[in-house]
A and B are shown apart, each in its own frame.
Chain A
């Protein structure tokens, strides 16, 4: 039976872990958009010695589960004989999600970059911009605005993926809820609350993203 007393107590504990979940979300999102951009640009490089590692990395990460990657970073990385790496658990969580989603972000960037006309590259070359200036002044300012809504959607996806880090016992809301459950042997209330919290946070965000998308489309209407 649903017990409001347990619900209240569980909510109080779980709410304290919300900042952890949010911090994980934003930190790994920022990691993903920065590293994803790097991967996308590497894919466009002229030397295949740059392109191939980028493509290989993207395919490898996308073809293996995030859960496995997280557990690998947590358990296997400190034990590898070549170069044992011990990192704080929270950092590992950010790395796991950040790296995983950077490969998806790279694809998102790619769609934006491919949509920029070839003539823009040619005009940049004819005006003698350097490669770096062409990227920063000409290509990216055109490639990024159209993909901002897609990035927003990925922010929500990442947010919903953070409970996967329960597997490496990062104290985000699911772990706290499970802790409450095992302590009092009451799982119904805490886990339900976790679900409701996710719903309450991600639904308004997706509405915001959709509105942003509409506004950007309108802005681009004249350009």
Chain B
């Protein structure tokens, strides 16, 4: 059973760790989100508000549910219970005859305009050139003319440093280049919030830097909110306004990067960071 929760819960703003002022409409709002795959409950009640333009890093051990958080927002998985609101509107529910019912494809299609996602394994379209990869959705989904779409795609590819690769196919690029194309392809749709799902995890170590650099530049540009699901702690510290630590399907601790990394309060975060430092050095 999916329980619809229409009202903006006021009590959320009373929570101590909620650093958002209550007069800002969050771009994304998770409310008591649960997600189970069969018997396995990977999310056990997540509450999270993300402000417009805010950069959030989600860290935590693998299996802590952090990727699922992103996939729920990108509508790749449906929450078992709870609500997600995007720009104040329920994502997985819609109003029909005054009642909130599970969202239909039309509603999801409209809501997805605000949401973008970059994947761990790039998922570029192998049968299209790099340029076409970036142009296709603006043409088909946003209804841009070919001319407009091409200009925007070239501009975006230049931004990620691949203007000389436009006529190549994905298979001809390195992993880092592929991921930069995937970022360009997602960003050109101008979503309000972008999920970066472990975007460097499938890359050779020497290619990680170029991808993180591109994301960093995008972050500095500002107005797109970002959810960075990552294992790159230095990167999280650099880019994020707020770091969320998840473990066992719950948010265990969150705060500004300095707080979270320098003064972790919970034991679980402390041991996670210790383990992480010892394994990465």
| Partner-contacting stretch, out of A83-91, A105-113, A122-130 | A122-130
A-contacting residues, B105-126, CB 8 Å: 105, 109, 112-113, 115-117, 119, 121-126
Report Cα–Cα, A117/B127, bound state, in Å.
Answer: 13
What is the minimal beta-carbon distance from B182 to any residue of chain A, in angstroms?
8
Report Cα–Cα, A21/B167, bound state, in Å.
Answer: 45
Report Cα–Cα, A125/B75, bound state, in Å.
Answer: 8
Q: Which residues of A contact B74 (CB under 8 A)?
A: 122, 125-126
Known A129-B141, A130-B109: A222·B127 in contact at CB below 8 Å: no
Report Cα–Cα, A130/B189, bound state, in Å.
Answer: 15
A-B contact count (CB 8 A): 62
Report Cα–Cα, A222/B126, bound state, in Å.
Answer: 10
Report Cα–Cα, A117/B124, bound state, in Å.
Answer: 11
| Partner-contacting stretch, out of A8-16, A134-142, A162-170, A189-197 | A134-142
Q: Is the CB of A223 within 8 A of B121?
A: no
Report Cα–Cα, A41/B137, bound state, in Å.
Answer: 22
Interface size classification for chain A:
10 to 19
Q: Which residues of B contact A133 (CB under 8 A)?
A: 140-141
Q: Which residues of B contact A123 (CB under 8 A)?
A: 119, 123-125
What is the minimal beta-carbon distance from A145 to any residue of chain B, in angstroms?
8
Report Cα–Cα, A119/B126, bound state, in Å.
Answer: 11
Q: Is the CB of B119 within 8 A of A129?
A: no
Known A129-B141, A223-B171: A137·B117 in contact at CB below 8 Å: no
What is the minimal beta-carbon distance from A129 to any residue of chain B, in angstroms?
6
Q: Is the CB of A222 within 8 A of B172?
A: yes
Report Cα–Cα, A72/B172, bound state, in Å.
Answer: 54
Is the CB of A217 closer than 8 A to any CB of chain B?
Answer: no
Q: Is the CB of A120 within 8 A of B123?
A: yes
Report Cα–Cα, A125/B116, bound state, in Å.
Answer: 10
Known A119-B119, A130-B109: A223·B137 in contact at CB below 8 Å: no
Is the CB of A5 closer than 8 A to any CB of chain B?
Answer: no
Q: Which residues of A contact B113 (CB under 8 A)?
A: 128
Is the CB of B136 closer than 8 A to any CB of chain A?
Answer: yes
Known A133-B140, A137-B140, A222-B169: A126·B127 in contact at CB below 8 Å: no
Q: Is the CB of A122 within 8 A of B123?
A: yes
Is the CB of A218 closer than 8 A to any CB of chain B?
Answer: no
What is the minimal beta-carbon distance from A200 to any residue of chain B, in angstroms?
37
Q: Is the CB of A128 within 8 A of B125?
A: no
Q: Which residues of B contact A128 (CB under 8 A)?
A: 109, 112-113, 137, 141, 189
Contact with B along A130-168 (1 / 0, CB 8 A): 110100011001100000000000000000000000000
Q: A119-B121, A126-B119, A127-B189 are in contact. List 19 more A-B contacts (CB 8 A).
A: A117-B123, A119-B122, A120-B123, A122-B76, A122-B119, A123-B119, A125-B74, A126-B74, A126-B112, A127-B137, A128-B112, A128-B113, A128-B189, A129-B140, A137-B136, A138-B125, A142-B127, A222-B169, A223-B169
- Can you report 25 residue pairs joining A to B where beta carbons are below 8 Å apart? A117-B123, A119-B121, A120-B123, A122-B74, A125-B112, A126-B74, A126-B76, A126-B112, A126-B116, A127-B136, A127-B137, A128-B109, A128-B112, A128-B189, A129-B137, A129-B140, A133-B140, A133-B141, A137-B136, A137-B140, A138-B125, A142-B127, A222-B171, A223-B126, A223-B169
